Structure 1
Amino acid sequence: MSTILNLWTKANLVPFGNKAFSLAFSQKAPYFATIRPTFTELRPNYAELVIPKRRAVHNHIGTVHAIALCNGLEAAMGALAEVTIPSDKRWIPKGMDISYTAKATSDITCIAETDQAQWDGDDPDLHVRVKGVRDDGTVVIEGVIKLWVTPKPARS
């Protein structure tokens, strides 16, 4: 079991454990903290978190800013990658293809998904499916985050 998945599992044994996990995960890449994500589900090939709609992430029309949405998608993707990747491989993001499909007028649930076959194959290009969903079920952002997955170098 990956370190991140182990922490998630242990955190969820106590009240508000997902909040503590989310805060700790946000320190991994400090810009994640700017959106105050709360993870709600994390398992191999799936990650889900919520970005609260608050003034600090608003754009000029009072909806959740596009870059805050991308930040949430990237946090979900990063957690998914950490709990899914085989131990002999490493990953790095190499791009995003995103479409903004509706106004982000509520808290946003960010979801990242893959299939295990993507990780088990030899193709280094791996596309993580991502989307952000409003409280009413409307998808406000969707696309893929492209990863470069390669074998870990041999230790010397």
Structure 2
Amino acid sequence: MSAGMTQVLSLWTTAARLPLGDRAFSVLFAQKAPYFASVRPRFTVIEPNRAELVVRDRRRVHNHLGTVHAIALCNGLEAAMGALAEASIPADRRWIPKGMEVAYTAKATGDVTCIAETDPAQWTGPVPEAGQDLPVRVRGELADGTVVVEGVIRLWVTPRRPSGRRR
């Protein structure tokens, strides 16, 4: 484990080696932001610059057409983005979601794998004191590769302030 490994990445790496560890991690992650529990995300990949999870096709997340609801897909995408951000961000920075732009490209008629990706270079270089945008590419795919949702979640990244210093 490298000195720069984040807590989320460290916990995932440990949990993923254990029987049902990925499921236990997923439940705990959803408790951190309780709204994520509504889609019961099941993480399958967490590494710097990439996270994947599955939103299962079940009645609880259906819309009136019987397909996975658009907002359930957005919840899955945001959970994947959050895991990616936690696994990728340097220790001297912090992040918060700033906005999401998505397009629904096909009916979500099955389990959806939500994928979030960045490039390593996006996390390097100086961050202005005022902060900067960092776009995270997101998409949701069915098992056959059909993309049902795609877009960008913009993060606002700022330098982490020393403890006790308020603005």
Please tell me the TM-score bracket, short chain as reference: over 0.9
Shift of 1:154: 2.4
The reply on whether 1:149 has 2:157 as its aligned counterpart is: yes
Q: Deviations over 1:10-35 (max 9, x none)?
A: 10121111000000000010010000
Shift of 1:135: 1.5
The reply on whether 1:82 has 2:90 as its aligned counterpart is: no
The reply on whether 1:63 has 2:71 as its aligned counterpart is: no
* SS of equivalent residue, structure 2 residue 10: helix
The reply on whether 1:121 has 2:125 as its aligned counterpart is: yes
Distance 1:142 1:126 in 2: 17
TM-score (normalizing by structure 2): 0.91
Partner of 2:12: 8
Aligned length: 156
Structure index of larger Rg: 2
> Which residue of 54, 75, 92 maps to 1:50?
54
Question: What code does the residue aligned with 1:61 have?
Answer: L
Distance 1:10 1:141 in 2: 31
Shift of 1:121: 2.9
Aligned ranges for residues 94-109 of structure 1 at < 5 Å?
A: 94-109=98-113
Unaligned runs of 5+ in 1: none
Shift of 1:106: 0.3
* SS of equivalent residue, structure 1 residue 155: coil
Shift of 1:153: 1.2
Question: What code does the residue aligned with 1:30 have?
Answer: P
Distance 1:33 1:96 in 2: 20
TM-score (normalizing by structure 1): 0.98
Kindly report structure 1 stretches of 4+ aligned residues shifted beyond 4 Å.
Answer: none
